[in-house]
Amino acid sequence: MRYKVAEAGALTEGGRLIVSVRGMELGLFLINGKYRAWRNVCPHAAAPVCVGMVTGTRLLSNVYEYEYGLDRQVLRCPWHGWEFDLATGRHLAGGAAKLRGFEVEADDTGIYVVLSGKE
């Protein structure tokens, strides 16, 4: 079932909204032209991760090199600084930690989050 969470055009590139769907708080983001919805609960210790700073990060590089990337695509948890790729939800250090995501649909009537009913 899909739930309207915002009017069409409510988010611009890099924008964020905190929305509520069936009592569940989500962070809605527009990243690289695609909407993403992540549950506003950090997999580390349950902080409201979606209110964290959106930034970039230092990419893997050779010794003595510094390469910045993923600009405005990295969500940093406000409690302990874990960083997640907003496009995939994955923790930047790898491993199993990942934000819980939901499908988003958008058309000229609004922006919708799709829930399967198992949430």
Comparing CB distances to ligand FES, the nearer of 1 and 18 is 18
CB 15 within 8 A of CB 86: no
Show the site string, 78-117: x = touches ligand FES by CB under 6 A, - = not: -xx-x-----------------------------------
Among the residue ranges 14-22, 23-31, 39-47, 65-73, the one whose residues contact ligand FES (CB under 6 A): 39-47
**Beta strands across the sheet bearing 24-31:** 2-6, 110-114, 101-107, 34-39, 24-31, 16-21
Q: Of 104, 16, 99, which Cα lies nearest the Cα of 113?
A: 104
Of 25-33, 55-63, 74-82, 98-106, the segment contacting ligand FES by CB under 6 A is: 74-82
Residues 88/99, Cβ–Cβ less than 8 Å: no
Chain positions contacting ligand FES, by CB under 6 A: 42, 44-45, 47, 49, 77, 79-80, 82
